[in-house]
A = this chain, B = another copy of it.
């Protein structure tokens, strides 16, 4: 994450009357650095790397808060477990290795434009966004 991006986020929080607490700063830093969706469990481990210890309820509340401010977004993959990732980024998709469970971000070639238009028109449906994940084997597991 670029420093200016970080500064923007912090500025908006301050303007909104929100405190820059150690947990909040640490989470924004972690999400900015990790370019992949994180399980709550993984988040906990990364927090252990800092000196920050918080109650379960506090962490959940903070994630709900960060999501409400569009700083992070929730992602849902095939296993049904909720994951969180940094939100202020280009539209992208995920590659999930079915063997080692590693998740990478991936961008599509230009051809993606119009993906939403592929839907058969008989469905009287106004599409606003989509979610696309690819599953398979990563380089190490092939």
Contacts and interface: CB of A to CB of B under 8 A. Distances in A.
B136 A127 contact: yes
A30 interface: no
Interface residues of A, number: 40
B128 A130 contact: no
Contacts of A119: 95, 106, 108-109, 134
Contact of A135 (B106, B120, B131): B131
Interface in A12-59: none
A1 interface: no
Interface of A: 74, 76-82, 95, 97-98, 104, 106-109, 111-112, 116, 118-120, 123-139, 142
